[in-house]
Structure 1
Amino acid sequence: MEIIKFQQFRDKIVDNIGKVIVGKKDKVEKIVVSFICSGHVLLEDVPGLGKTKLAKALSKSMNCSFKRIQFTPDLLPSDLTGIYFYNQKNGEFEFRKGPLLSQIVLADEINRATPRTQSALLECMEERQITVEGETIKLNKPFFVIATQNPVEQFGTFPLPEAQLDRFFMRISMGYPEFSEEKDILDRYMEKDPLEELQAAVTMEEIEYVQNNFTKIHVSNEIKNYILELVSATRKHKNIELGCSPRASLNLMKGSQALAAVRGRDYVIPEDIKEMAVPILSHRLILRNDVSGLMDKPEDIVADILNTVNSPLEEI
């Protein structure tokens, strides 16, 4: 296994997306990590921070097919998967593909759809397939979902069910740009949109290599125990009603392996776990109804757990 290929993959994607998205290299790196792990990302931010442009820039950088779905209350599951219709010209039923049969899918404002439509994503996100009228259709590879939701606006929205949230590999918030970064945005977009001229940065062979080989990164027993202790702490914390599932443990290990690989290591260190813990664990927690004060957000509780659980001190 050549670690340098992971570094080159990360650098190519981050630098290429950097032509469109100013700053936020650490956020883009985590999205690349999620993509390497074949995970899906939930972007939670207010409108206007570049979530859609980021998804489009990612698909262009990887030369993948891209579809955007605007989620609304009247959206039906068949609008996502596709339907069989009767073609009068040839007298046969034909399948009209839905947007889920693309490689990178942007589920915009996912919490505006009804739970019935949201549930249509469950099968495709975990099993990489859809079922239409009893027929199972395998999805294209790679398959990557970027979903967005506005955490502030609650009118006309439907909270994502726990099963849906658990299928997202990580949740990220882009945040507002710095003053100098926003000035750069004004200069860069004054005459034209750089997204229109963006070219592919990696090949499908490179994508297959990183997705097939990141699991070869070494994870010691001490690191595995550290992961399990962190996840176990979420199930015992006084402010948490429902802690993380075993899927969270597995995702935290995989995410740390991919992060170590793109940073040039063939082994995981405790700092990898600490960096990935908040984006991978926090959205899976359900807090108690009476929680208030300094730790009223899942991210704060995960940070508190990281401070209380001892990390391995040995040289890994």
Structure 2
Amino acid sequence: IISTQCISMEKWNQTSSDFILLGLLPQNQTGLLLLLLIVSVFVFACLGNSGMTALIFLDPRLHTPMYFLLSQLSLMDLMYISSTVPKMVYNFLSGQKSISFLGCGVQIFFFVTLACSEGLLLASMAYDRFVAICHPLHYPIRMSKRVCVKMILGSWTLSSINSLAHTIYTFQIPYCRSRAINHFYCDIPAMMPLACVDTWDYEYMVFVSAVLFLLLPFLGITASYGRVLFAVFHMRSKEGRKKAFTTKKAFTTCSTHLTVVILYYAPFAFTYLQPKSLRSPEEDKNMAVFYTILTPMLNPIIYSLRNKEVAAMTKLTVRCRVIAFVGHTSM
């Protein structure tokens, strides 16, 4: 049976211009249970990130640079998980593993754009905390609304240009070995083994992009928080140290942001920065679950639990909705 499936797949690969996504889950009862879990995570992530974005937009008390950047992070996470999970769920339920040539290109473009944009955004959020703690008097100037808008537009623009270049180059490579991508979405490293030409030069460019959009922002985040810790722990008085940590709830937001940074960068570094010889398709798929599914769900939870203002406003919003619902049903 396995050999017959392989022969039919090879015939399909040679005659079709579409790709096959081998997927993440097995086509059995265990896979169905895991799919239900992923769908639950997807729904929770969509509700959490859309709710966070709406809350920050509607509440004037949250119209600050820190929360403006946080709303952009929630928006990116919402788009991030929406670019991979719906197609994976559809393929599993329909039994059709194919994805069109154009659909694969669109998925690559949005995935790379959002991955790079989020890396740059996390660096911008670290810079915001650095200025708030180390240069509080200059904070209104260095982190003005105009500067925040430039940061956001810059991250989207640079990431889109980089993603467009990779997308165009990826689909100029001839694929003649197979059309079966051993992943649950169109991922560039997973597509390279399908090419019938040497792709070493392009894989090196993928590594360079990972360094520019992931490693360098991570080093910037590390430097920012290193300066913050250096400034705080070298204060002479305990009162000054306490003031530095309580200004704009700096300690809470810094620790929260560091948690998000670790959850986001660790799987990416494991996948894109280690040598090709040490990687395996199964490990790449497992790591991709973290930054495409779990992280978008965990980010609103982490920021809500660790940030008193967001948590308070979330509880107030829920309480108002409950009161409104009860009042509507009693009428």
Query: Which structure is higher in helix share?
Result: 2
Shorter-chain TM-score tier:
under 0.3
Q: TM-score, normalised by structure 2?
A: 0.24
Q: TM-score, normalised by structure 1?
A: 0.25
Structure of higher CA gyration radius: 2
